[in-house]
Amino acid sequence: MGKLYERLNQDIRFIEGLNGCMNCGVCTAICPAAEFYHYDPRVICDTVQSKDESLIEALLRSETIWYCGECMSCKTRCPRNNTPGFIIMALRKLSQELGYFTDSEKGRQQFAIKRAIGENILSTGYCVHPDIVSPELHPEQGPVWEWISKNTPDIMEKMGSNYKQNGVGGLRTIDPDVLEELDRIFEITGGKSMFDVIEKHSKQKAQELGIELSREGIGNEYFISVYTENNGTHNG
Amino acid sequence: MVSEGKKRVWADYQKEIADDHYFYVRSCIRQTFFPGSETTFLKIMRNNLGKDVFEDARHTTCTGIGYHTDIVPPDTTMTVIARHFALMTEAGYTNMIPSCVTSFGLYSEVLDTWKHFPEMEARIRDFLWKATKREFKIPENLVHTSDIIYKFRNQIRQMAKISLINKKTGEPLKVVEHIGCHYAKMFPESGIGGAEFPSVLSGMIESWGGTVIDYPERRHCCGFGFRQYIVMANRGYSVSNSKKKFESMRPYQPDFIVANCPGCSMFLDRWQYTIAELEGITYDNRGMGIPVLTYEEMAGLVMGYSPWELGLQMHQVSVEPLLDKLGINYNKEEKYLGSRGQNIGEPQKPQFLIV
């Protein structure tokens, strides 16, 4: 058994996700990503079950593995109880661990997600918070969201939230002791290592491409680049 | 005959929903975009139904969006969820009710994983102890908050001030229901009606007098796709999937959409605005779009809560056409007032979408 396949096979999602694909293509028929991207979950299953190391490496470095939306519609439909979405999750984890994710435009976006969502989890205790959904980065949210953003504390109070206050309720400030617990969980379970590895390989890539990535948070050129660039070859 | 067959299948997919004493965990997305829905859920449960719902300020995100954007590894997510189980155990509760479909799907995935791999549960218990010195019991009952509203739908009907009926015509309102992929597609046995005939929302709609639209793309994803929305460059995927649904439902002329999942509620609302501004298309006959409600907002309207107390002003697609059909009295001038009735300005008008 090859090294890459062996590493995939250590991921619980891979073990649960691949029982043996018979190439029927039902997953592809139901897949929202297959409709709008050059994406075929049947081929993903077939490639990994081939155990061909060079094909698996190519997959780990490809745009392809980043097209799935993890809706898991495939799990319901597969007559052999495979879950291509779970296989994708294992592939993405390994692609990041090996630094291969920076070879693709879609893979490089992991840096933006780490800086936006990942850091928010550890600093606020939430994945999403109104303060990080800026109208500039989210024009699709429309004028109502602009109005909410200008009046967040007042509107949240009207809605019965506990915006940035102590105690229970929506949008409450998470106690520093709790954030410390969260931090320790991330440290002990490998969450921090994953963040570090995304940072390390992204910094190398930014240097290679000559794009500025010296500033923390989202205020750097590399963030804007990976967050907005779309070379137009992913669908059509 | 078809209807009889569905009823038989549904009978196989009924699940146990605890009657009282719930440990409530909130949703990051809902507290951001539709905070009034969580407030309304607690009001209905505590004030209208007299149930005990406990909240612990120390619960955090389940990391669900981080997990499904693949920046948070499974060990980390499972340990964060184990910590929530520990808070529930410490508070003396056994019934866990997440207010988010992503969380509910993840909690279900964690419990399923531990059932198949007990050594994984032992490993996570060890992680949790090392990180927090906490221990936990597995919840005896894990259901989504919409399951609870479904369970009490007939009691809610008895308290209802209105039905989901067009007051002018007397006809039942035609409703599109959107369940959200992670409610039952991953673990069909965890959803009422399974993945084939989820009845969690249709059960509410029918109990409260409306009729459910069965359209071709009824079970298609809203297009959130986690990284496919969060990263600006990928949002074409997200809006395209919603558009596929809108085009499929349009011929049935829905009066409104009701959604189960935090993300879906937001996307089905906001993408109508985006499509209108980009392409000049709306999916109703008046250029206003199809109003989108959460299930608590739907329950709240039926029970006589004020639309602006529910937070319907936070939607981009105007809800007034629906309120008019329902015969609900509202003061449009109060729509955008602040918490003390003061003027805090109003949203600008979109270029194309009529509000």
pLDDT tens per residue across span B202-254: 999 999 999 999 999 999 999 999 999 999 999 999 999 999 999 999 999 99
CA atoms of B64 and B262, how far apart (whole Å): 12
Range of the domain at A63: 3-98
Question: Which positions in chain B touch A148 (Cβ < 8 Å)?
Answer: 314
8 Å CB contact between B263 and B294: no
Whether residue B2 has pLDDT greater than 70: no
The answer to whether residues A49 and A141 belong to one domain is no
Domain-embedded: residue A91: yes
The answer to whether residues A61 and A145 belong to one domain is no
The answer to whether residues A79 and A131 belong to one domain is no
Q: Is A199 on the interface with B (CB under 8 A)?
A: no
Contact state of B348 with A143 under an 8 Å Cβ cutoff: yes
Low-confidence ranges of chain A (pLDDT < 70): 1, 236
Domain CATH code at residue A47:
1.10.1060.10
Q: For residue B193, what pLDDT band results from cuts at 50, 70 and 90?
A: confident
Domains and their CATH numbers in chain B: 19-145 (1.20.1050.140), 153-334 (3.40.50.11810)
Q: Is A12 on the interface with B (CB under 8 A)?
A: yes
Contact state of A12 with B117 under an 8 Å Cβ cutoff: yes
| Model pTM above 0.90 | yes
The answer to whether residues A122 and A152 belong to one domain is yes
Tens-digit pLDDT profile for residues A22-38:
999 999 999 999 999 99
The answer to whether residues A113 and A135 belong to one domain is yes
The answer to whether residues A219 and A109 belong to one domain is yes
Which SS3 state, helix, strand or coil, does residue B115 take? Answer: helix
Question: How high does pLDDT run on average in chain B?
Answer: 96
Domain-embedded: residue A82: yes
DSSP character for B171?
A: P
Contact state of A16 with B113 under an 8 Å Cβ cutoff: yes
- Furthest CA-CA distance within chain B: 64
Domain-embedded: residue A236: no
Bridge pairing between strands B174-178 and B256-259: parallel
Total domain count for chain A? 2
CA distance B80 to chain A (A): 7
Q: Is A14 on the interface with B (CB under 8 A)?
A: no
What secondary structure, in 3-state letters, does chain A show?
CCHHHHHHCCCHHHHHHCCCCCCCCHHHHHCHHHHHCCCCHHHHHHHHHCCCHHHHHHHHCCCHHHCCCCCCHHHHHCCCCCCHHHHHHHHHHHHHHCCHHHHCHHHHHHHHHHHHHHHHHHHHCCCCCHHHCCCCCCHHHHHHHHHHHHCHHHHHHHCCCCCCCCCCCCCCCCCHHHHHHHHHHHHHHCHHHHHHHHHHHHHHHHHHHCCCCCCCCCCCHHHHHHHHCCCCCCCC
Both structure tokens of B271: 């993408």
Task: Measure Cα distances from A110 to A137, A138, A148, A206, B181 in Å.
Answer: 17, 18, 28, 13, 23
Domain-embedded: residue A234: no
**Number of cross-chain residue pairs from A and B with Cβ atoms under 8 Å apart:** 261
Contact state of B31 with A106 under an 8 Å Cβ cutoff: no
φ, ψ of residue B212 in degrees (nearest 5): -100, 135
Domain-embedded: residue A235: no
The answer to whether residues A115 and A223 belong to one domain is yes
The answer to whether residues A66 and A126 belong to one domain is no
Domain-embedded: residue A12: yes
DSSP B60-108: ----HHHHHTTSS-HHHHHHHHHHHHHHHHHTT--EEEES-HHHHHHHH
| Final residue before a domain boundary, out of A98, A116, A136 | A98
Domain-embedded: residue A31: yes
